[in-house]
Amino acid sequence: MQHVRKSGSLVVAWTPEQKAELPQVLIDNKEAGDQRASILTQKQLRELEPSLSDKALGAVFCPYEVISEPWLVAMGYAENALLNGVKIKLKSRVTKTTFNKDHWTIKLNEKETIKAKTVINCAGLYGD
């Protein structure tokens, strides 16, 4: 199963006002690092997507956009971390942390204390 599928994307203009905004959409994409993004005319858009409505006036094509399965990506990162010696602590409440020169001392669940050079907080919402 793939974690990421390269698909490309289109930002389609359906009104003259949206079509007028396409150059700015292109600039925004290029500033974000997508140097291959381009503006498609109505004819080019129809060649790329022949089933698209005739009401489409043009588009910005971003060939490097991808669809990702967010859970599989995170699971892939976790699996790779485990293969490289990382210890993942689940259902652990951090009650105190201190940093001393080159390592962290972390107290978990009021019972366990661990030391680590690197700590990644994956607690999510309210994890701060």
Query: At a CB cut-off of 8 Å and minimum separation 6, what does 3 contact?
Result: 68, 69, 72, 73, 76
12 close to 53: Cβ distance less than 8 angstroms: no
Query: What is the per-residue pLDDT across 78-108, written as a single tens digit (0 to 9) for each?
Result: 899 999 998 888 888 888 999 999 999 999 9
Global pTM reads 0.55
Q: Which of 19, 21, 24, 10 is nearest to 60 (CA)?
A: 10
Query: What is the per-residue pLDDT across 22-50, written as a single tens digit (0 to 9) for each?
Result: 999 999 999 999 899 999 999 999 999 99
Burial of 69 (0-12, 13-18, 19+ CB in 10 A): middle
Alpha carbon distance 9, 29 (integer Å): 12
